[in-house]
Amino acid sequence: MLGGFDIRDVTVDGVAVHALVGGAGPPVLLLHGYPQTHAMWHRVAPALARDHTVVAADLRGYGDSAKPAGGPDHAEYSKRAMAADQVGLMDMLGYERFAVVGHDRGARVAHRMCLDHPERVTRAAMLDIVPTRHIFANVDRDLAHGYYHWFFLAQAPDLPERLIGADPEYYLRRKLAQWSADTASFAPEAVAEYVRCFSDPATIHASCEDYRAAATIDLEHDDADAAAGRRVECPVLALWGSRGFVGGHYDVVAVWRDYAADVQGTSVDSGHFPAEEAPDATTRALTDFLMD
C-alpha cells in the first residue's frame, strides 16, 4: 500500500512494533485508528513524504505489531503503554523530536504521548476525536447510540471477542460503512489488509483490551492530569469530518481548548475517515499545519 516505503520492525521493551518509513525531512509519526492499520494512510503518507520523513506505524494490538495478552487492569493497552511503544520506535529510528498525526485510537495515543513525553512532540494533529475524558463525562442518548461500540467492546472477556469472532469480516465492513459517509471511498486493497489483520483472534482481543483500558486505567491517568492542571502544550490541529458523529455532536475546537494550550481546527467533507474519504483536503490541512 505504501510503495517506496521501507519496512521497519523494532522491539520496544519486549513489544514488537511494525512500521513503514519513507521520505526525507522533519519526522512525522502517523498513528491509525480502529479497526484499521497503518495502511489507512496510503493516500496521505506519500504526499507528506515529499517534505517529511514519514513513519506509519501499527499500534500494539493491531496490524503486524505485537499483541500482548492483557490483564485485569488493562495496563498493557493503556494509552500510556501504547504511546511509550511509539516513542521507543522513534528513538530506534533516531528521531528525538517529531510531529505526530493520529486518527481515532491513534489520536488518543497521540494525546497521551503529548502529556507523557512533551519534550518529544513538536506538534500534534488529532483526527476526528475529542478527548476520552470529555466523552465519558458527557454521555447522552446520541453518544450511547453512535458510540455503542465503546461500551460493547469494554465488556468483560470474552463476550465481545466471541461475538465479533463469529464473523470478523462482516463486523469490520459494517463498522467502516456505519462510520463513513461513503463506503466507496475505501480502496479494496486497504480493506483487504484490514480484514487480514482483524481476522486474527489476537487482534480482536487486543482491540477489546484497548477499549477496556479507555474505560478504566486511561481515565485514571486523564483524571490525574486534570487534577494536576496538565494540558498539551505543543500546537494542536483538530481535524474532523463534517459528516461524522464528532463534527455533528461537539464544538470540536472548544472542547480541545480545555485540554490544550494552542489549538486550531477545521473540518473536511467526510465521515469518520478523513484520510481515506477526503485525502486531498486532509493532506492540505496537515501540510499547512506541519509546515507552519
List pLDDT tens digits, range 117-149: 999 999 999 999 999 999 999 999 999 999 999
List all residues 6 or more positions away from 250 whose beta carbon is below 8 Å from its beta carbon.
Answer: 130
Find, among 214, 202, 205, the residue nearest to 157 by Cα.
Answer: 205
Band of the pLDDT at 61, cuts 50, 70, 90?
very high
Find, among 134, 132, 128, 147, the residue nearest to 266 by Cα.
Answer: 128
What is the pLDDT at residue 292? 82
Judge whether 91 counts as a catalytic residue: no
Mean pLDDT of 56-71: 97
Q: Domain residue spans in the chain?
A: 6-291
Reduced to 3 states (helix: H, G, I; strand: E, B; else coil), residue 101 is: strand
Superfamily of domain 6-291: Alpha/Beta hydrolase fold, catalytic domain (3.40.50.1820)
Q: What cell numbers appear for 163 in the block? A: 461475538
Band of the pLDDT at 1, cuts 50, 70, 90?
confident
Judge whether 140 counts as a catalytic residue: no
Q: Please pick, among 58, 64, 104, 218, the residue that the annotation labels catalytic.
A: 104
Query: If you ran DSSP here, which 8-state letter would residue 97 be given?
Result: S
In tens, the pLDDT along 204-253 reads: 999 999 999 999 999 999 999 999 999 999 999 999 999 999 999 999 99
Which is it for strands 15-23 and 53-57: parallel, antiparallel or unpaired? antiparallel
List all residues 6 or more positions away from 163 whose beta carbon is below 8 Å from its beta carbon.
Answer: none
